[in-house]
Structures are given as C-alpha cells and as structure tokens.
Chain A
Amino acid sequence: MARAQSNRRIAVMTIIGWTIGILMFFPIFWTAVAAFKTESDAYTLPQNFLTTPWTLENFAIVQERSDYVRYVVNTTLIVVLSTALALALAVPAAWSLAFTPVEKPTSRLSGRAWLAIMLGASGACFIVLYVNGWKVSNFFVGFGLLMLVVIPATIWVWTRNTPGTLLWMLSTKMMPPAGALIPIYLIFNRNGLVFADWGIVDLREFNLMDSLWGMVLLMTLLNLPIFIWMLFSYFKEIPVAILEAARMDGASLWNELFRVLMPMALPGIVSTCLLNIILTWNEAFWSLNLTNKNAAPLSFFISEYSSPEGQFWAKLSAASIMAITPILVIGWFSQRQLVRGLTFGAVK
C-alpha cells in the first residue's frame, strides 16, 4: 500500500518536475532550434522542426558577417587575463587576512574621528575648487585634491580590523556601476577633453576606450572583492597548525603558499575562478558602455543584433547559442560550488 502510494507520488512529481523544467528551459531550447533553421523557417510558425530542413548555414553566416571568432577571442582574453590578475592580487591579500588577522583596529582614532578627517578633506577640496571657479587647471592640483580625499580613506580602511577590512571590500562590490560610470567613462573615452589641461601627463596617450587592457583592468577591479572574500573564506577553513607545521619543516614563504596552502585550497580556488569566469563572461553594463569594435566581448556582439535592420532570427539564435554554450556548460558542471560564491559565503 505504502509502496504503491510512494510510486504514484514519484510519478506525479516527475510530471510536475519535468513540466516546470521544460518550461524554464524552453526559451533556450527554442533558440537552439531556431539556430538550425533557415531564416524563413525560423519565422514560420508553428515551427515544425521535424519536417523543415536542418542547416548549419547560420553559424557560417554569423562568422562571416560579424567575425564571431574575434569576439570570442576578446571575451576569452578578458575573462582569462582578468581572472589571472585578480587571482594574483587576491591570494596574498586573502592569505594575510586569513592567517594574520587584526583583532582590533590599529588606529587610535575612532571611526567618527576618521569621518571628520575625511569630511574636512572633502571640504578643503571643495573650497579649493570653488576658488578656482570649479576648474582643475593643473595635473598636480587635480591629483593633489584627489589624494587629499583618497589617502585618509585608505589609511582608515588599512587600520581597521580584519572583519572591517573584509566587509568594506565587499561593500565596494555593491556600489552601483552607475555611480562610477561617469568618471570611468570619461577616463576611458573623453580623457582628451576632461583631463587634457591637467598638463604633465597627457592621458590622450593612453587611449583606454575600446581597449582590451582597459577592459581587463576594469574586470579585475570589479571582481577583486568577491575574489578576496571567497578565498578568505576558503583559507579560513585551513587549520593554522598545518601552515605552522610547514614553517617548522623548513618551508619558505613561497613553499608554504604554493606547496601547502594552494593545493589544500584548490577546490575553493577553482570554484572562485569559475564564478569569476561566469560573471565576467556575462558582464554587460561596462561592455556595452565602454567597448565598440576592437575590444568588444560577446555580450556586445549579441546586442548588435537588437538593431532593427539586424532582425535575422535564425542568425541571432545561432549567435546566441554560440555565446552562451561555453558558460552554460561551465555553470552546469560547477553549480554546487557556485552557491557559496553567489551568496558571498552566506549559504554553503
């Protein structure tokens, strides 16, 4: 009796489960089907995809028309380089945060005092700018004013206790890109205009707009907080005694890091990298704003198809499928490991 009941229950669950699964996946499936159809068949509804001929021509046309491979190369370069760079920066940071934690803020000044200092510095900037008619006429003035704000802020962060530093890092990830868009955009794009009269350093020489390096740098900065945070949480799980044992065994700092710490944290490092790859691959805000032709990644490439003259759906589908497949596969394989990163470690 109970057996029969549980079998029926499983059968019902199977039906519900598959219905919902297929419903959720349907747009992707539909895209995949359209990608293998001729342009006219893709329009014709209902798509009888068993009878209409299958074709690979869309993929060839997409490549021919818009040089798909170049976007893939761009995306891959941006993803790989920024991940590597972030990893290189994050490992030492996470290591020092995890194993030499600072219990109490090392600064004798209270948070309120620092706030006052920063407000004062901002006020000073304000007055200087006001007197100068709100113009920065010289590189040194501009740089000096910036530093007046940035240096106390940095020292304040530096001297906080470990949780403080970490949380602050995480909070930078939460800053909306809209808040940083203007200066970044201007530095990337209009540097010749805004910063030209700063003298000395002619920013026009570094044309970052639509440059691969600019994107790599930006993506690194964008994901560094998550990187440090995740590595920190993985390192934290490694008993300090093991590192001390390595030290006793005569391991140099290098050996301690690369022969003991890194292999032990390898699963964590890999899943952090995967998360980073997925986030970077799908990144759209900055890509759409800051790239155009040379450095454009796949998300830009796809958005090109939104213009009315580009309504070739089979090709759009083909391009889409090519853009999402690699990351979909990575995502499927690493779904378990990703949860931790996707919640900033709050759910394991």
Chain B
Amino acid sequence: MGSITLEHVNKSFGTHQVIPDVNLTIEDGDFVVFVGPSGCGKSTLLRLIAGLEDTSSGRILLDGQDMTDAGPAKRGLAMVFQSYALYPHMNVYNNIAFPLKMAKLDKATIDAKVKDAARILNLTEYLERKPRQLSGGQRQRVAIGRAIVREPIAFLFDEPLSNLDAALRVNMRLEISELHQQLKTTMVYVTHDQVEAMTMADKIVVLNAGRVEQFGTPMELYRTPANRFVAGFIGSPRMNFVDGAEATKYGVHAIGVRPEHITLSTTEGAWAGEVGVAEHLGSDTFLHVTCGPLGTLTVRAEGEKPLSHGDKVWLTPQPGRIYRFDKDGRTLAAA
C-alpha cells in the first residue's frame, strides 16, 4: 500500500551535486527515519519524495508506480513541515479541511473527517481558533491533523519537533509513535537528532553528504555500524576514536569504543588517565578523561561515582566491543 522506492536518484543544484545516486526501498508500514548532520541532504531527499523538488535523474516509485514527474498533489503523500506551515488566515477547522476541500469532497464528508481527526488529536475545543492562538504543541497537532485527513499512502515529516522545547519534544515523540501504531501507514521522518531516530524508527537511513551511509534497524546501526561515520553518529555520548600507535596494536588505522563499553577503575587498567570534567547525572556519570597520547576519552559509568577534576583513573575497553576501522573509515571485523 505505501512502499517508496528510489532508483538511482540524483539531485544537483546548478553544478553542486547534493544527492549522488541514492537507491533505497522503504517497505509499506515502516517508520523510516532519515538522519544525518545538517546539510547532509536528508531534507532534500524528503522533498524529492514529496515532489517539491524535481529529481535531476533517476526514478521515484510510490506503490510501484513511477511518480518521478508527478506534481506533489498527485502523489498521495502528506507532509508535516518544520515550521508547521499552517495557514494563518484560516482557523483550525479550515486548516484541517483544506486538503479535503482541494480534493472536492462534499461538505458532510469533510465535516466528519475533520471532527474525527480533531478527536484523535485532542483538538476538538480549538477548532475555531486561529493558528496564532495555539501553543507550539497544538500547532504541531493541527499540522498532523491536516496530514491525517488526507489518508495518504505515506506521511513525510520534516524535522517536525525541532521548534518545540525539550519536554514537549519528548511528548510529541511518543504521540507520533503512537499514531504510527494506530494508523500503520508508512512514515518517513527527517531529523538531525539521533535520539529521535533511535527511539522512533523501525529503520534508520544515515545520510552523509547525500550518500546513504547505512540503512538498517536502530540496533543494527548501533551494534554493527558500517563505517566510522555511522559509528560516530549513532549513540550518545559519541563513540571514542583512537588512532596512532594504540590502533596499530589492533592492526588497523583506528579503533573505536563506546563510552558505555569502557570499564572504569581507580586502581588498574589498560589506559591511565586523569579526570577532566565529570558530569553527574545521578543515574549515570559521564567522565571526560585525558589519557595522554590517546587524547580525551568519554566514559559512561553507571550510578553515582565520587570522582572529580584531577582524579587518577584507569580505563579498560570491553573485549568484543572494540570497533576497528581501516584508513577509509570502513568497519573491519570486531576484535
């Protein structure tokens, strides 16, 4: 019902190539997140799927049908924008009803669908209000409501939570996941926040400079990152990378260890170091340890650790959790 296939999709602005040759298949019903640093082309890719940008070459199939040259309205997709893009001169009701009016449905059907969507999204009391009279979260829900009523074959989200404050963001994250469980419609979600990606996605596409670095489930990306870029991007705090002499010991160009895969000791271990900044979160303690030639490593220790600036510590990477990278950044078999 809602599969999306990209075949050799290519996009250039002038001489600048933004998307070089992307191949990707999104299965029906999947929640797929495009994640990557800003400027990696994730939004462009989404806009190509939406039809808001034209592909320079390649094909886009929706449900197996070639939609490469179809306009955005013809594709049967719905999109939620970063700025919500609500129509400021219409009230909530008319905002949600707009796509239905454009589809020339009759009044009664429109009314039923709008009321329905409003109920699902807890917007019933606000139907008469104008967007500027709503809070950020409510606006977000109106934008989603406008997307739902079209019953699209897939939803596209373009960084929908980045304008919300932290607490609200966590809430909306849950609401969108909930929505996906209810509707079981394909969703494509763009974000630069790897936490959003990890928590919401069925599958994640990691993009870098327009290239798909890796496509897989969150845990696949976490456990077996295809390369140094993915390894560094997925996971929080970031993976520690060590190159030079220590890496040569492992017979590679560079090695990587996640902060949570380092055993901390105050008496002995593989690498000696001195605590720089210690971040006490209560449940965890993040230590930034300066280890001589290895540079500064981040360590995640569970629970409360009574360590502070200047303390001597020893770090030991857990065996089997050391990632090895060749000089092109590709991941080799784990050591």
Q: Which residues of A contact B (CB under 8 A)?
A: 104, 239, 241-242, 244-252, 255, 259-260, 263-264, 266
Q: How far is the CB of B85 from chain A (nearest CB, A)?
A: 4
Cα A263 to Cα B99 with chains together (Å): 17
When the two chains form their complex, are residues B87 and A242 in contact, meaning their CB atoms are under 8 A apart? yes
Known contacts A264-B88, A264-B89, A247 near B72 by CB under 8 Å: yes
Question: Is B78 among interface residues, defined by CB-CB distance under 8 A?
Answer: yes
Tell me whether chain B's interface is mostly helix, strand or loop, or mixed: loop
When the two chains form their complex, are residues B89 and A245 in contact, meaning their CB atoms are under 8 A apart? no
Contact of B73 among A242, A250, A260, A266 (CB under 8 A): A250
Question: Is B229 among interface residues, defined by CB-CB distance under 8 A?
Answer: no
Question: Is B32 among interface residues, defined by CB-CB distance under 8 A?
Answer: no
When the two chains form their complex, are residues B85 and A239 in contact, meaning their CB atoms are under 8 A apart? yes
Known contacts A248-B79, A249-B73, A251-B73, A263 near B85 by CB under 8 Å: no
When the two chains form their complex, are residues A260 and B87 in contact, meaning their CB atoms are under 8 A apart? yes
When the two chains form their complex, are residues A248 and B83 in contact, meaning their CB atoms are under 8 A apart? no
List which B146-173 residues lie within 8 A (CB) of chain A. Answer: 146, 150
Known contacts A239-B83, A241-B81, A241-B82, A247 near B52 by CB under 8 Å: yes
User: Chain A residues with Cβ under 8 A from B102's Cβ?
Assistant: 249-252, 255
Q: Which residues of B contact A (CB under 8 A)?
A: 14, 50-52, 71-73, 77-79, 81-83, 85-89, 98-99, 102-103, 146, 150
Tell me whether chain A's interface is mostly helix, strand or loop, or mixed: helix
When the two chains form their complex, are residues A245 and B85 in contact, meaning their CB atoms are under 8 A apart? yes
User: Chain B residues with Cβ under 8 A from A259's Cβ?
Assistant: 98
Contact of A244 among B72, B98, B103 (CB under 8 A): B72
When the two chains form their complex, are residues B71 and A247 in contact, meaning their CB atoms are under 8 A apart? yes
When the two chains form their complex, are residues A249 and B150 in contact, meaning their CB atoms are under 8 A apart? yes
User: Chain A residues with Cβ under 8 A from B103's Cβ?
Assistant: 250
User: Chain B residues with Cβ under 8 A from A247's Cβ?
Assistant: 51-52, 71-73
Question: B82: nearest residue on chain A (CB-CB)?
Answer: A241
User: Chain B residues with Cβ under 8 A from A241's Cβ?
Assistant: 81-83, 85
Cα A241 to Cα B81 with chains together (Å): 7
User: Chain A residues with Cβ under 8 A from B87's Cβ?
Assistant: 242, 245-246, 260, 264
User: Chain A residues with Cβ under 8 A from B88's Cβ?
Assistant: 242, 264
When the two chains form their complex, are residues B98 and A248 in contact, meaning their CB atoms are under 8 A apart? no
User: Chain A residues with Cβ under 8 A from B82's Cβ?
Assistant: 241
User: Chain B residues with Cβ under 8 A from A260's Cβ?
Assistant: 87
Q: How far is the CB of A256 from chain B (nearest CB, A)?
A: 10
User: Chain A residues with Cβ under 8 A from B86's Cβ?
Assistant: 242, 245
Cα A259 to Cα B95 with chains together (Å): 11
Question: B13: nearest residue on chain A (CB-CB)?
Answer: A103
When the two chains form their complex, are residues B85 and A250 in contact, meaning their CB atoms are under 8 A apart? no
Cα A266 to Cα B90 with chains together (Å): 13
